[in-house]
Amino acid sequence: MTNQIKPAILMLLFFTVLTGIAYPLAVTFSAQTLFSSQANGSLLGSNELPLGSELIGQAFSRPEYFWGRPSATSPASYNGGASSGSNQGPTNPALIDAVQARIKALRDADPSHLEAVPVDLVTASASGLDPHISPAAATYQISRVAKARQMSPNSVSELVDRYTEARQWGILGEPRVNVLKLNLALDQHLK
Amino acid sequence: MTANGLVQITLYFVALLLLAKPLGVYMAAVYENRPLLLKRILGPLEAGFYRLSGVNPEQEMGWKSYAAALLWFNLFGGLAVFALQMLQAHLPLNPQQMANVTVDSAFNTAVSFATNTNWQGYSGETTMSYLTQMLGLSVQNFVSAATGMAVLVAMIRGFQRTHADGIGNFWADLTRGTLYILLPLSFVLALVLVGQGVVQTFKPYQTIPLVEQVSTATEKTTQTLAVGPAASQIAIKQLGTNGGGFFNVNSAHPFENPTPLANFLEMLLLILIPAALCHTFGTMVGDPRQGWAILSAMTLVLVSLLFVTVGYEQGGNPALAALGVEQSVSVDQSGGNMEGKETRFGIVNSAIWATATTAASNGSVNSMHDSYTPLGGMIPMWLIQLGEVIFGGVGSGLYGMLIFVLIAVFVAGLMIGRTPEYLGKKIEAFEIKMAAIVILIPAFFILGGTSLAIMVEAGKSAVANPGAHGFSEILYAFSSAAGNNGSAFAGLSANSPFYNTALGITMLFGRYGIMIPVLAIAGSLAAKKTVPTTVGTLPTHTPLFVMLLIGTVVLVGALTFVPALALGPVVEHLIMNTAL
């Protein structure tokens, strides 16, 4: 039985070199050559002045911006250095309280708007970094953003439509709106 | 369920079944050492591995030598992961200056990755250096998967051979599985994933000014983006039913799973090899129908249970409905229980992933299982408790399922009063004793471990959610460890000496407590003669046998775990629907 010790150690060494060094280096080299932007985090803006990552949401709380999903990361929300979900169960009173507070914040920011709130706008995402909201959640916020920016709801709505992504290939995933890109467009950083 | 939801589910299973056949036949060729195109390129590397390690790949091993080689290899692999974590602060490729990991957490993670569990008590982007992720975790992702496949192939040889002493050579099976199956597939997948937006870089984390600058002193004005060599690790974590994420939230993280297409591919590869191995089995025993029968049983169970989870998750949370939250599905939102789910995946893709990752012993997640509705989340937990045989881990799923086949054949034999046989081998007392050990070990550790945890303060104080759901968190943790799954009801604060130790031990027994009896069965079967098929032989490729097999798996799983499930998810379901 002990005659297998030597091959065990040597095999581990060779597999470590192959799958732990050569393989990740080969993938990194190919990825940086073929897909340099994606491999480095899909950053928006320029290298000198990055505006954020297209794939990672940011926190928005002012009325003139579209708000993203609630985020459970700590110490601040949308902490891209420490992803986390809330892990609150469906019967946890803390979840119910949190959802209630989020509904109140939305209502307070736009008191005349009384429609039912789309669920994704008041529930924490899995990653705490979800860059998207549903088209329903974007539509819900149009009146607030339009008022705060003194724009017509129609022109805000047109922007929302422009930043609404359909299902990939028409089939996969869910339709969604990229909150950061939409807000950058409102600020006229993106065309 | 919307029409699109049905289309996505159908597409998923059609793609899976279409790809499984050619891959399965290819893998049979790899393990039977037949000539392959890839051998012309990587053949010299394979030969070099053997020569430098002093191994003769033609030398047959008996089951005890095979087990010894495997255990030594896994032991040193685990020690290497342990050492890397204990020393990472002093080693290179640590741009975030991660500290050394605590002893109990390092033990837990070393066991977790060596056993193909990939339970993560730690948070990737705040704990592990790039070096540890690559040299420790990535390497074990490959070789622990190849180890599982090797044991399966050894067991298949038990059925193939007559009057034989050997069941193959562990080093040859390990090397071929890694070189010709896992490595090329991972390389291609990793690049496709980067194309979709998965990061792959050695640069340190980047800090970016926020668009909405908050003026108060307590708020942050910048955002840190964790990056790293992620794609290379994510590809193999999906393929090898490992499941250990590069980032804390695993494939819910937009840098780990950025688009619906990336999600589709990651979900597909999650159970592709376990499905394909059914065909490898059918091909190697010379009767493809036997592989189809097992694959059908697995698929039927998974599809049925998937619809239960989709249904409950789409139904949403009655407590939120009472607050006036819109949870119904429409063209503009997926609706349902969105707590702990990502917008781009919605309900359907979260539910497919949750059931597939627990059916297979993968354990990666794209949504937080802890926030599922009680019954929507009970299904993933029960899929683990069925013994990780509905697809299951690479290799380990099918060898586990073959154990249930032996039990099914044995039960049928008792009913008709005939010595049970499978593929021409008589199933006798020794095989059934070993099979009983395989079935009892996970049950013992899941129920025993949960009982222990709820009796001690260190166990109870770790729960995040009050009441029945807290119990579910603990039950899920021990199920996940014993089944070598690795997913979690992640609210549980499991990075404590108590859970790191208890779950570490559970993972060890859940892996080797099953592998060793399986290898013993392989050795015993290989030594037997093959009995000819007669009219009295129970056919094991018919729909009737598929039903018998499903019945065996479900009955054992239900009888063992329904009482425990009643205390957790079932109670919570009743509370959720009566409190209002």
**pLDDT digit string, tens, across residues A21-42:** 999 999 999 999 999 999 999 9
Chain B CB within 8 Å of residue A81 CB:
yes
Range of the domain at B419: 1-209+224-580
Span B225-250, average pLDDT: 94
Taking an 8 Å cut-off on Cβ atoms, the answer to whether B326 and A126 are in contact is: no
pLDDT in tens, B375-431: 999 999 999 999 999 999 999 999 999 999 999 999 999 988 888 999 999 999 999
Chain B CB within 8 Å of residue A32 CB:
yes
User: Is the pLDDT reported for residue A69 higher than 90?
Assistant: yes
User: Is the pLDDT reported for residue B355 higher than 80?
Assistant: yes
- What CA–CA distances, in Å, run from B103 to B84, B107, B110, B135, B398? 12, 6, 10, 19, 34
Question: What's the pLDDT at B535?
Answer: 83
B507, B117 in Cβ contact below 8 A? yes
- What CA–CA distances, in Å, run from A177 to A163, B250, B330, B335? 6, 22, 15, 15
Chain B CB within 8 Å of residue A68 CB:
no
In the block, which residue shows the tokens 């980067």? B194
Q: Within a domain: residue B215?
A: no
Predicted confidence band of residue B328 (pLDDT cuts 50, 70, 90): very high
- By DSSP bridging, strand B222-225 and strand B206-209 are antiparallel
Question: What's the pLDDT at B192?
Answer: 97
Predicted confidence band of residue A68 (pLDDT cuts 50, 70, 90): very high
Question: What's the pLDDT at B216?
Answer: 52
* DSSP tag of B200: B
Taking an 8 Å cut-off on Cβ atoms, the answer to whether B4 and A167 are in contact is: yes
Predicted confidence band of residue B214 (pLDDT cuts 50, 70, 90): low
Q: Within a domain: residue B218?
A: no
Question: What's the pLDDT at A190?
Answer: 64
Question: What's the pLDDT at B233?
Answer: 94
Q: How far apart are the first and last CA of chain B?
A: 25
All residues of chain A having their beta carbon less than 8 Å from the beta carbon of residue B337 are: 90, 119, 123
pLDDT in tens, B260-283: 999 999 999 999 999 999 999 999
All residues of chain A having their beta carbon less than 8 Å from the beta carbon of residue B335 are: 118-119
Question: What's the pLDDT at A47?
Answer: 78
- Report the percent of chain B where pLDDT is more than 90: 91
Option in A27, A136, A183 nearest B333 (CB): A136
User: Is the pLDDT reported for residue A96 higher than 60?
Assistant: yes
pLDDT in tens, B448-473: 999 999 999 999 999 999 999 999 99
Residue B380 CA from chain centroid, whole number: 12
Euclidean distance between CA atoms A33 and A46, whole angstroms: 19
User: Is the pLDDT reported for residue B213 higher than 80?
Assistant: no
Q: Which are the contacts of B425, defined by CB distance < 8 A and separation ≥ 6?
A: B158, B159, B525, B528, B530, B531
Q: Within a domain: residue B316?
A: yes
- Report the percent of chain B where pLDDT is more than 70: 98
Question: What's the pLDDT at A50?
Answer: 87
Choose, out of A19, A132, A176, the residue to mutate when testing the contact with B (most B CBs < 10 Å). A19
pLDDT in tens, B227-239: 999 999 999 999 9
Residues facing residue A52 across a β-bridge: A44
Question: What's the pLDDT at B558?
Answer: 86
Option in A12, A81, A88 nearest B226 (CB): A81
pLDDT in tens, A131-157: 999 999 999 999 999 999 999 999 999
Q: Is the dihedral of CA B344, B348, B352, B357 positive or negative?
A: positive
Taking an 8 Å cut-off on Cβ atoms, the answer to whether B211 and A32 are in contact is: no
User: Is the pLDDT reported for residue B189 higher than 70?
Assistant: yes
Option in A88, A116, A172 nearest B324 (CB): A116
Q: Which chain A residue is nearest to residue B376, measuring alpha carbons?
A: A90
Average pLDDT over chain B reads: 94
Chain B CB within 8 Å of residue A71 CB:
no
Span B85-106, average pLDDT: 93
Taking an 8 Å cut-off on Cβ atoms, the answer to whether A39 and B349 are in contact is: no
All residues of chain B having their beta carbon less than 8 Å from the beta carbon of residue A10 are: 52-54
Taking an 8 Å cut-off on Cβ atoms, the answer to whether B464 and A87 are in contact is: yes
- How many contacts does A have with B, using Cβ atoms within 8 A? 391
Euclidean distance between CA atoms B284 and A52, whole angstroms: 52
Question: What's the pLDDT at B220?
Answer: 63
Domain count for chain B:
1
User: Is the pLDDT reported for residue B533 higher than 90?
Assistant: no
Please report, for chain A, the start and end positions of each structural domain, with discontinuous segments joined by +: 2-37, 42-186
Chain B CB within 8 Å of residue A174 CB:
yes
CB within 8 Å of chain B, chain A residues 113-132:
115-120, 122-132
Taking an 8 Å cut-off on Cβ atoms, the answer to whether A87 and B465 are in contact is: yes
Q: How far is B308 from chain A (nearest CA, A)?
A: 17
The pTM of the full predicted model, rounded to 2 decimals, is: 0.95
ipTM comes to: 0.96
Taking an 8 Å cut-off on Cβ atoms, the answer to whether B464 and A30 are in contact is: no
All residues of chain A having their beta carbon less than 8 Å from the beta carbon of residue B326 are: 115-119, 136
Q: Within a domain: residue B55?
A: yes
pLDDT in tens, B536-567: 888 999 999 999 999 999 999 889 999 999 99
Chain B CB within 8 Å of residue A139 CB:
yes
Span A98-106, average pLDDT: 96
Q: Which chain A residue is nearest to residue B333, measuring alpha carbons?
A: A134
Q: 3-class DSSP state for residue B26?
A: helix
All residues of chain A having their beta carbon less than 8 Å from the beta carbon of residue B373 are: 90
Task: Please give the backbone phi and psi of residue B325, each rounded to the nearest 5 degrees, phi first.
Answer: -85, 135
Taking an 8 Å cut-off on Cβ atoms, the answer to whether B333 and A53 are in contact is: no
Taking an 8 Å cut-off on Cβ atoms, the answer to whether A88 and B464 are in contact is: yes
User: Is the pLDDT reported for residue B219 higher than 70?
Assistant: no
